[in-house]
Amino acid sequence: MSQLRHLIDGDEHAPTLVFLNSLGGRAEMWNAQVAGLHHDLRLLRLDYRADPPPGQYSIGDIATDVQTLLTELGEHRVNLCGISLGGMTAMWLAAHVPDLVDRLVLMCTAARMGSPEAWRERAEAVSSGQMPQVAEVVVGRAFTEPFARAHAHTVDIVRQMLLGAPVPGYVAACGALERADLRALLPTIRVPTLVIAGAEDPTAPPVNSEYLVQQIPGAHLVVLDDARHLANIEQATRVNELLREFLAGGAND
């Protein structure tokens, strides 16, 4: 039985688009996509495990949780849209369970993200009660300064989401990121793939997205100006346009 909280919106007869969150994210981080796409698609959002089992957690473990949920929901072929950690999870699924994935959207992500030391330090900080300090750093990297000034309420919603993230799940996901290296999997991904990067993203800069496009056969890259790490929020209208076009067959065909 899946342990993942999930939400389903949109047209139940339309193709399913599954959203996969960034580290510390919740299903609600995709609210702007639901608002813009619910007439066109069946939309599935989910949360990762709040309290993973003991031992080393991996991207494969997160992906297997997602696959279990999809099986329980009777979803045998879906589109995946993952951001950051969610993008890595989507890559794993596309490589290991190709029959499950129709089209793949990788947003603000990388095959290997940051350094192992940085993720260990992040996990130690959160474990020791420093999530408020971590959340401020993360929020600062999530949005450009003009957006943050103009949309303080939206930024605070993301801040509160991070502050409310279950510590065991967050720390375990840091461990998964510490150990994750998906570079060898990229050439095996054979589904139509759209890669979206934020031009000003300090966490997964465009060079990471360029590498994905070089390694994934037929992948297509769009770099969004005026966007950092949470481009789906900062550039919601443009992201929704790209998703609608790509899932209708416009970007890779």
pLDDT of residue 216: 98
Compute the chain's Rg from CA coordinates: 17
Spell out the alpha helix ranges (H) of the chain.
31-37, 59-72, 85-96, 116-127, 131-142, 145-150, 152-163, 167-179, 206-215, 231-234, 236-247
Separation of CA 252 from chain center: 21
Q: pLDDT, tens digit, for every residue of 162-199? A: 999 999 999 999 999 999 999 999 999 999 999 999 99
How far apart are the C-alpha atoms of 203 and 135, rounded to whole Å? Answer: 14
Residue 117: per-residue pLDDT: 97
Q: What is the mean pLDDT of residues 216-225?
A: 98
* Distance, CA of 232 to CA of 197 (rounded, Å): 10
Confidence class for position 253, pLDDT limits 50, 70, 90: very low
For the domain bounded by 6-247, which CATH number is listed? 3.40.50.1820
pLDDT for residue 187: 98
Given a cut of 70, whether residue 59 has pLDDT beyond it is yes
Neighbours of 110 (CB within 10 A): 24
Query: What tokens appear for 34 in the block?
Result: 């639901």
Range 66-76 average pLDDT: 97
Q: What is the pLDDT of residues 141-166, one digit of tens each?
A: 999 999 999 999 999 999 999 999 99
Predicted confidence at residue 1, as pLDDT, reads 58
CB 37 within 8 A of CB 240: yes
Return the SS3 of 167. Answer: helix
pLDDT recorded at residue 251: 40
Least confident span in 43-52, 178-187, 203-212, 242-251:
242-251
Per-residue pLDDT, averaged over 87-113, amounts to: 98
Nearest-angstrom CA–CA distance, 211 and 186: 10
Calpha distance 242→88 (Å, rounded):
20
Banded pLDDT at 252 (limits 50, 70, 90): very low
Residue 11: pLDDT band by 50, 70, 90 thresholds? very high
Question: For residue 232, what pLDDT is reported?
Answer: 98
- Res. 2 pLDDT band, cuts 50 70 90: low
Determine the average pLDDT of the residues in 22-45.
Answer: 98
Q: Would you state the pLDDT for residue 244?
A: 97
How far is CA 132 from each of CA 20, 161, 178, rounded to the nearest angstrom?
A: 24, 11, 21
